[in-house]
Structure 1
Amino acid sequence: MGRARSLGLARGVILALACAAFAGCAGRGGEGPTTPSPAIERPARAWSAAALAELRAALDAAPAQGFASDLATLAELDRLDRASARDADAAAALDALADETFARLATYFAAGAVDPAQIDPEWRFPRPAAPDIAALRASVAAGVSPSLLLNGLLPTAPDYSALIAELAALQALPASDTDANGRARDARIDAVRANLERWRWLPRELPGRRIDVLVPFFELRLRDGAAPAIVHPVIVGARRTPSPSFGAAINSITLNPTWTPPSSILTNELLPRFRRDPGAAEADGFDVLDRAGQVVDPALVDWRARPFPYTLRQRAGAGNALGRLRFDLPNPYAVYLHDTPSRGLFARADRALSHGCIRVSEPETLAAAVLADPAWSLEALQTAIEIGETQTVQVPTPLPIYIVYLTAARDTSGAIGYADDIYRRDAPLLRALDNAGDQIAALDAGDATTECAALGL
């Protein structure tokens, strides 16, 4: 019965089509040509279908760069794209949302989604310049690929690419059969995402010959192009006195340096100790200098005086806090790279121990590599140090140095290594990174509601 009914319906459709065709032929034969219906004109759009498709694909792929997903904007772009086929207001709204999305992605790719000044008080690198959105948008209008323009704003350093590959590998891992393994995977994903954002905060052009100090890894790397990095263990700032992240240049090396302690160490540590034991100043090799630069007998000093009217300066020697060698890198944070009289501390796994300066293992070897001068070989440096005189050796070409807080980074073999988040910086960075996406999603949702009401959709 059902099959007979289906056949009947099919015959009816065929008959109707035949009749319509016959009527059309009859009409053309007896009444002449009919007036065609006017074509529906598609509203004009600034974003072509191809450019919009690329923009949508870039937004959809943003999580591969460590950004939060933005499903709300993707859905709204799709909705307005469909509506724009028949509605000029929807076409205008689509162009506006595409412009905003493109500008946002360009800013995120060029300088990061999070302002480092709001997240990491010790991050002292200037944020990369914001992109020229007007020029980029003009390029899109001229037919340049939006994806090409956006991807050109990302860091090109091999370390960034290695983190991207690591994130893809972690996200592709199957669900773990244990909670512990799942947490480990998720923790690594979080670390990679946080450090991808930090790389977007860094200068885009890093010199091939430079020193990188990776604070959480307690490691210094002297890089020289494609040659294997020379690695030195380091001691970094303690958790209460963290090492800042900044860039500078080593312009000289001081052999047998003296040490003038900064006011924080003077006030909080040395003066209270010398007040309790005035003989400790002399025992530790400190000279007390008056305002004229004359040495004062420590026994005559009022260690309780505030403000303290003298300058303390520790004499050069094996017991000097800077050791026998200091790398001079002028900076506003009073941070040095230097030797230490307590070389046994390098045997510790956790070396967050200093007041913020970087103490380096085997400093004479590093100094010889930095100078790269036959006149200042390792043996020549050691001989000059043994003489005991304070001497400054100029670095022929100042060597850039970058002290950075990275908790996931490529090691010397090319694999990604993970370090303890000693200053607890990753969690607030990830919250801000995810909130950046949430805020945009909320804004887009509000705009979508307004547009729907206005368009009657």
Structure 2
Amino acid sequence: MKNILSLTALTLFLAATATPALAQLEEGEKPTEGMIAAGEAPATPISEAETALRFLQNQAAATKWTRTAAADLLAYVERIGEEGLDPADYDPIGLRAALEGNDDAALSATATDIFLRVSSDLALGHVRGDARVDWHMIDPDLDGNEQYAMMQRAVANGSVRDELNSLLPTHPQYAELKGVLATATDPAVIDKVRTNLDRWRWLPRDLGPRYVIVNVPAYTVAIVENGHVVARHRAVVGATKTATPQLSAVATGVILNPWWEVPRSISPAVRGKKGYVSVKDGDGVRYRQPPGPGNSLGRMKVVMPNNYAIYLHDTPAKSLFNRDVRAFSHGCIRTQDALGFAQMLLNNPLWDQARIAEAIAAGKTVKADAAVPTPVYITYFTAAAIKDKGGIFTYNDIYGRDSTVVAGLTDRNGGVLASMK
């Protein structure tokens, strides 16, 4: 049963990463032997477990592991605890037994299975599926085709360690958290670090040369350029009942003097109130709040289209930035010194401080374009390593999500099969 679960998890991963043969399947359709082995679908489908087994056997046959490469893989697995992962999840006992045996085909099959699981977890994170509560970012770091090409390079060039290390996050916090983990003895600290190391793996490996990162538990918004924080602002985030989801978007500019489109969920609260404009919308009515000092979006809203209608914006309730706990919004990120933030985000000489002030004073709604589109990552990290001091600073787990990640880290399948149990 242990092997079948491993292969099922592998099949789910391959489907998620859109290996061409699997990507062509319609919902509910079963992959077939021909699709995997030769690209021609036979008439009789086979079971998911058998499909995964045959797929694995085919790939193992295509990649003949040398004993040197397999020994390097075993050494990597035995030290994978340095990444906050559990060596036992990658069957070092089975790989050692295969190395000590005389069956080269069995060695290749075992090493292939382990390499796929290790590379997947390093690139995309071990905790998957429902265990990633409200996490909606797409991580493009690895697909099935690249995974097998990487494995073949690792074996052919004797570069197992280098190939696997190339998948690790490049953000300095990842390496600094690993440093904390190396010396930690307190189980609570160990769990906290492991949880946040995995969250870094959920993100793209390289966030880009310039980006905005929001850390919800820290109530902060930062602009990062070439690895250095050039601006950090306090933020108000979603209340526990209207939690801010974790997502990525691209900021292309800002709206100065924005209108606020009142969400339908709270429309009854503004019905009949002064300062709101009603607009017929099909069979119903929606409400808008015109620009002004009392507008709920304040004087600025970032243009960052996404499926969750979550934005960074100003607020008239400036006093909330003085509080230590700042979880009060309906999900959006209210940003302190929003106009100063807007100027830095735009990074556009046409929109300097004077031009922005002039546009605000005019009172008209204006869109200011950024010089270059900027990625925005809304994240959830409950710990940060203190640079050069070997400790961590922890943030309150405001939405209670750490325990789910810890549980996923103790599950060999990372929670990916939770919905099937």
1:195 alignment counterpart: 196
| Cα shift at 1:234 | 0.3
**Correspondences of 1:215-294 after superposition (within 5 Å):** 215-266=216-267, 271=268, 274=271, 278=272, 281-282=273-274, 285-291=275-281
Matched, 1:407 2:367: no
Give the SS at the match of 1:376: coil
Letter in 1 for 2:224: R
List per-residue Cα deviations over 1:109-168 (Å, max 9, x = no partner): 1212222x4223421111333353432332244242211221122222222212211211
| Cα shift at 1:261 | 1.2
Matched, 1:157 2:171: yes
Matched, 1:367 2:347: no
Q: Which runs of 5+ in 2 are unaligned?
A: 1-62, 417-421
- Contact 1:250-1:399 at 8 Å conserved across structures: yes
Q: How big is the alpha-carbon RMSD for the aligned residues of Structure 1 and Structure 2?
A: 2.6
Task: Give the alignment's TM-score, normalised by structure 2.
Answer: 0.77
| Cα shift at 1:71 | 7.8
Q: Distance in 2 between matches of 1:413 and 1:234?
A: 26
List per-residue Cα deviations over 1:262-297 (Å, max 9, x = no partner): 22232xxxx1564xxx4xx11xx10112249xxxxx
1:326 alignment counterpart: 301
**Correspondences of 1:18-417 after superposition (within 5 Å):** 46-70=64-88, 73-82=91-100, 84-85=101-102, 88=103, 91-115=104-128, 117-128=129-140, 129-131=142-144, 132-170=146-184, 173=185, 185-266=186-267, 271=268, 274=271, 278=272, 281-282=273-274, 285-291=275-281, 309-410=284-385, 416-417=392-393
- Contact 2:408-2:414 at 8 Å conserved across structures: no
CA gap of 1:234–1:382, structure 2 versus 1, over 3 A, is same
Counting matched residue pairs gives: 351
CA gap of 1:375–1:81, structure 2 versus 1, over 3 A, is closer
Q: Distance in 2 between matches of 1:188 and 1:417?
A: 10
Letter in 1 for 2:75: A
Give the SS at the match of 1:167: helix
CA gap of 1:81–1:393, structure 2 versus 1, over 3 A, is closer
- Contact 1:69-1:437 at 8 Å conserved across structures: no
Q: Distance in 2 between matches of 1:135 and 1:312?
A: 54
Q: Distance in 1 between matches of 2:387 and 2:334?
A: 21
- Contact 2:127-2:415 at 8 Å conserved across structures: no
More helix by share: 1
Letter in 2 for 1:94: L
1:425 maps to which of 389, 394, 401: 401
Letter in 2 for 1:230: A
Q: Distance in 1 between matches of 2:84 and 2:308?
A: 31
Query: Structure 1 vs Structure 2: percent identity of aligned residues?
Result: 34
List per-residue Cα deviations over 1:221-269 (Å, max 9, x = no partner): 1112254431100001111111111111221211111111122232xxx
- Contact 2:123-2:167 at 8 Å conserved across structures: yes
Give the SS at the match of 1:142: helix
List per-residue Cα deviations over 1:189-226 (Å, max 9, x = no partner): 21211111111111123112111111110001111225
Letter in 2 for 1:157: H
Q: Distance in 2 between matches of 1:394 and 1:408?
A: 34
Letter in 1 for 2:412: A
